[in-house]
Amino acid sequence: MSDLYLSICETNTESLGSLLKNSNEVIARNKDNGYQDLDPKKKAFVFEYIEAYDLAKAASSVGVSRETARKWLREPLVSAFLAEWQQEMGQRSVISRDFVNQMWLKLLPKVMGEEEIAKVDKDGMQYSAKEFDAVAATRVITELSKSTNFYNEGSGSKAAVTVNIDLSALGIQSQQSVGVTIEGVTDASNTD
């Protein structure tokens, strides 16, 4: 344990104010100097802990008990180091709209039945086959359209869909073609 942590734990409330002031000064100095007073093992623990917030796994990776790791997390210098890295990691986003769209686009040929997918039969045998999955395809297309604002309820624009029905294909003899137009108005206030 750090001397700073032990001294905070062993003091009475009268000197707590001065210790907190000293603690803040130590933290500020360490922030400016790359946390030079922080034990390398504790730094490694913080980096492991930040990966999945699994205390047992992070403690094991640096060779300490969970109880020791729990105590480390309560140390002011370790806590400040952790908070700084959480903020740093929070500003970095591996997942972007483009990344998500790319993943949906990779999935689309599989659910549309254009690419083979791994399957298992009722006997547990594995095989590959192409299979159209209408529900999954609809879901993928819906998610892609959301991210591109293609189908944005409340877009404020008028939309019209014309459906032409070929009556002769249905076996109905008619001299006139039948057409239906559906129009709708949406709200423009909700655009990204």
Pair type for strands 112-120 and 126-132: antiparallel
pLDDT given for residue 191 in this prediction? 46
Give residue-wise pLDDT tens across range 59-102. Answer: 999 999 999 999 999 999 999 999 988 888 776 666 667 778 88
Beta-strand ranges (E) seen in the chain are 112-120, 126-132, 158-165, 178-185
Tokens 């969970």 belong to residue: 66
What is the C-alpha radius of gyration for the chain, rounded to an integer number of angstroms?
A: 31
Q: Where are the alpha helices (DSSP H) in 12-118?
A: 16-32, 40-52, 55-62, 66-74, 76-91, 97-111
Give residue-wise pLDDT tens across range 135-149. Answer: 888 888 888 888 777
**CA max distance for the chain:** 99
pLDDT at 114 over 80: yes
Pair type for strands 126-132 and 158-165: unpaired
